[in-house]
Amino acid sequence: MIGTLLISLTLLVIISLFIFNQYDPNLASVYAQGNTNPLGNALSHIFGNFTKAFNGLTRQSEYTVSLDGKQIFPNSALKENIVDKYQPSTYDIRDLKYNLLGFNVTAHDIKIHVNPSRKDTTKTRVDIPLMLARNVTVTNGVINLDYNQVDLGSIYGIYDKTTDKIMVHIPLAVASKYLHL
Per residue in 51-94, pLDDT (tens digit) is 555 555 545 588 899 999 999 999 999 999 999 999 999 999 99
Nearest to 117 by CA among 64, 154, 156, 169: 156
| pLDDT number for residue 37 | 52
Nearest to 171 by CA among 60, 57, 8, 13: 60
- Where exactly are the structural domains of the chain? 2-59, 62-178
Phi, psi of 133 (to 5 degrees): -125, 150
| pLDDT number for residue 29 | 43
| pLDDT number for residue 177 | 79
pTM of the model: 0.65
Cβ-based neighbours of 59, under 8 Å, separated by 6 or more = 18, 21, 22
User: Is the Cβ–Cβ distance between 131 and 110 less than 8 Å?
Assistant: yes
List the chain residues with pLDDT less than 70: 1-60, 180-181
Number of C-beta neighbours around residue 154 at 10 A = 14
User: Is the Cβ–Cβ distance between 97 and 106 less than 8 Å?
Assistant: yes
User: Is the Cβ–Cβ distance between 65 and 179 less than 8 Å?
Assistant: no
| pLDDT number for residue 53 | 52
Nearest to 154 by CA among 172, 174, 177, 168: 174
CA distances 28 to 14, 22, 47, Å, are 12, 11, 11
| pLDDT number for residue 154 | 83
Q: Which helix (H) or strand (E) holds 152?
A: none
| pLDDT number for residue 82 | 96
Measured distance CA(92)–CA(177) in Å, rounded: 23
